[in-house]
Structure 1
Amino acid sequence: MNERKTKILYSIIQDFICTGEPVGSRTLLKKYDLGISSATIRNEMSDLEELGFLEQVHVSSGRKPSNKGYRLYVDKLMKPKKITNEEKKYIEDNLLNLDLFDLENVLKSKLSLISRLTNLACVLKIPPVIENSIKSIEFIKINTYNLLTVIITNEGIIKSNIIKLNRPMDYETITLINKIINDHCISYKFEDIDFELVYESIKCLNLDRNIFDQLRMILHNLFMHDTEASYYFEGIDNVLSYPEFNSIDKVKDLVFFFNNINRFNDLLSCDCIDNIQIKIGEENSVEEAKNYSVVLGNCVRNGKILGTIGIIGLTRMDYAKIVTITKFLIDFINRNID
């Protein structure tokens, strides 16, 4: 495709992203310095339509980009946007106030940030906890008959529960229990822990069996109940603010789509480790998502995906801005998580 057609296509996509209105030759002539006549613009637009990069909504209307046009734009024409100093400060102020060891909370906060900065819907997918191993278990004395149990997984998931005591326990015994249990549990997945061996090791401390049984149940509930990925949503109402959703049927379709959680496992499938992936319209494997684009990014530690963020919007989303913000946030998280 020659330079003139490329320039016209770029201008049409930029205009349609901003307005959502089909673009005609007169608009291009007035708003963009193309250096050619209206008749030449119309001929080039007709060629771009034949090539599959543009679509005409009505015979008398202007054109809008096709999915093929957006793909060319994203791959070849899109000019990266710099994140503003205000956006950068806003992101860092919000994330630096978080406990970066609590990965799940960090990712949820990141989801909310992206939704606010892009004005689009965002989805977070966190892999099931069953795939995690134990990083540490700690008993903390709250009062005479209650211990706080804090469990941290190797992927930064933090869970806490209360264990009830039948009789008081001194700090020295609690410290010893912590050491024995961690010696037998650190780096193990739940199904690989030899719980009878753990019990035999602490039995010499003359503890009630119910302490051990409560811990085992807490670990079981944490690891074995979360066998499916978890999904969190932000900003669905942002998408509804676009004029394309001025009919009740389109609103119903969107609500149905976001309520069907089973669809999001395929939709948020993102194998890229170090980059952002963009799925446009019919490139999405999920039928209900073929009118939308999805920008995907993974939070990664040591080559393992800890969570996937998906930004969902109309195919006329501001790709350059969204990619810039998403990449900045993901890079920030990946640099700072333990």
Structure 2
Amino acid sequence: MLDDQALLEPAFSAATPRQRVVLIREFANRRATGLFDELRAGPDWRPQPPRRVPGLASAVLFLMVKDEAEIIGQNLRHHYALGFRRFFILDNGSSDQTAAIIAGFRSAYPDAGVFSASDYIVGHYQAKKMQALVAFMQAYLHYEADQPDWLFFVDADEFITFASGAGDERRFGDVLADPSKTLLVFHWAQCASDRVLEALPVGEDLSVALPIVWPRMKVAVTKVAYRLNHGLEPIQGNHLVEEFPYSASDVAIMAEADFYLFHYPVRTVEQLRRKVVNGNRALLATADRDGLSGTATHWRTYHQWYEQAGDVALRQVVEEHIDGCLNG
């Protein structure tokens, strides 16, 4: 799917597996930015409700969640409608109704395999936790006749979304069925409300409550899926993989199929308050090793602002997010 693959292959062949990850990020960001900006400005821009991609039935969707009751149900239903039938979830000590909503989803969709575990370690060790969950999944499903092929990693506020009225979801299926592909690279499309919301209206669809999608890709941020049993492991945040020992032709940039991760990181004052408090608590519990204690520093900053000015500071963050999504 790399249309300009010939430009990337010479550099790839001379690079180490770790250096290839950097090349993938740089190339994918340029490619996705150009495609998104062109599509977003054109007449075919029309985010689509999920239409089933049959190949996703052989994939596994991994999530790590905490206090996401207002959004986790819609996330699971969205990805179920897209075609996922296996969900592995780490619930990091939620104190709201997150666990009950996951259980309700399991009951409502009996053809979906839903594994959910209570994660008691507060520290921000997402990459290691996901690697552990993948290892568990492989052992857990060992005797299943239909073995998983692809692993997808999303957060509760990320929705795999088709963003064109002209194309179709078969292009996604073609990538999944292509045995030469080992890594899928998605990009964020940031979304926001049209005004500062104190809380999300009960039962309201996110696309209605937060209808603004940025007019251009202001910052390119990747998330990945990869083929199982190829030695790939996600980095912190699931934004890329640790190493990539394969060729450029093994990579699919999903913007080329008009698929993005519609991202709802800042939704309401209530949600942001919860996220800032939980995020800061997780960072404080993160051991000072492997560089992890220095990650996600923006949450430390937001928490400092919140301590100084309370919800006034949070409303300002929401306003800035809305402005960024309105104006790119």
- The structure number with the bigger radius of gyration is 1
TM-score by length of 2: 0.21
Report which structure shows greater RCO (CA 8 Å, sep ≥6). 2
From the two aligned structures, give the one with the greater helix fraction.
1
TM-score with structure 1 setting the length: 0.21
